[in-house]
Amino acid sequence: MEQHEGGSVKFGNNDRAKIVGRRIVKINDGNIRSEEVLFVIGLKHSLLSVSQICDSEHDVIFKKHEYEIRRANSGRLVAVGIRTFGNLYTLIETSNGSCILKKEDENWLWHKILGHINFDNLEKIYSKGAIQDIPSIRKPPNSMCSSCQKGKLTRSTFKTKEYYFGKPLELVHTNVCGPMRKQSLNGDKYFMLCIDNYSRMKWILFLKHKSEALENFETFKNIIENQVGRRIKCLISDRGGEFISDDFNEFYHKHGIRRQFSTARTPQKNGVVERKNRSIQEMA
């Protein structure tokens, strides 16, 4: 980079920032050459000048959700970009006319796909080959995710309550979550989550209405007890109407299932299943 003394850049709010350097930058393997790229003190994001792109004999075509950069003389596609949720257009480099993600973007993409998992666990997943065809993941220099900061804020946690059960199905945590903003392909609006306390094995039962909770749980109970060869001894849930109905109470007594309930309006007390509910929704 060539040092550049003097000059400043003026922003939309009339603030100015000092220019301290200048260099030539090649974008997309040299398909686009930008001559006057300035290094500005305090500017935290790289900005692409549309006027410079056009001066280098390219056409920039903006659309509702994306934009394209093409050669002015031939119309050949040399780069594409997308419109973000913040109404900014960002560049995604292209190679031989096909769109590819930059490596840093790919790391963030897998972070989001796996429910905003932290990068230390993401690297472990790659090293152990836990997910087929996952690319090599490296922790980005700036691994602070604004969505994680805003979406994972919670109340102060309660002291963890440990349940000591030495065999499968001696204690099952359950909860019904919904209604969801988007229905499933089968028209389901709710899901019922069951977690075995001993193995932490999880099952998801899809419901169209909360009133289907008993029917689905009875089917789940018959299947899982047949597979494991053991019976469900205790069930813990919140005090939702579907779990304290007369029909559900009759079901508990008929099958000898002991009941535990968390304190009303205190999801922290049913933390095992409530925390997994949040993870499932984030991943979805």
User: Cβ neighbours of residue 124 under 8 Å, at least 6 residues apart?
Assistant: 130
What is the β-pairing status of strands 172-177 and 98-99?
unpaired
Residue type for position 36? E
pLDDT for 161: 59
Q: What local confidence, expressed as pLDDT, does residue 55 receive?
A: 83
- Cα 195 to Cα 27, 31, 163, 207, 275: the distances in Å are 50, 54, 13, 17, 11
Strand 234-237 vs strand 172-177: parallel, antiparallel, or unpaired?
Answer: parallel
Q: At 83, which helix (H) or strand (E)?
A: strand 77-83
pLDDT at 150: 77
Domains, the chain, with CATH or none = 2-85 (no CATH), 104-151 (no CATH), 172-283 (3.30.420.10)
DSSP state string for 34-74 = EEEEEEETT--S----HHHHHHTTEEEEE-SSEEEEEETTT
pLDDT score for 260: 92
> How far is Cα 227 from Cα 198, in angstroms, rounded to an integer?
16
For the chain, 284 residues long, the average pLDDT of each consecutive 10-residue run is: 65 78 67 70 76 85 88 84 80 47 65 86 89 81 76 67 77 94 91 94 95 95 95 94 93 94 82 88 80
pLDDT of amino acid 278: 85
Residue 95 makes CB contacts below 8 A (sequence gap 6+) with: 28, 29
Task: Report the alpha-carbon distance of residue 240 to residue 196 in Å, rounded.
Answer: 20
Report the Cα 147 to chain-centroid distance in Å.
8
Distance, in Å, from the CA atom of 61 to the CA atom of 50, rounded to the nearest integer, reads 10
Q: For 123, phi and psi rounded to 5 degrees?
A: -65, -35
Is residue 100 a contact partner of residue 94, using CB atoms and an 8 Å limit?
A: yes
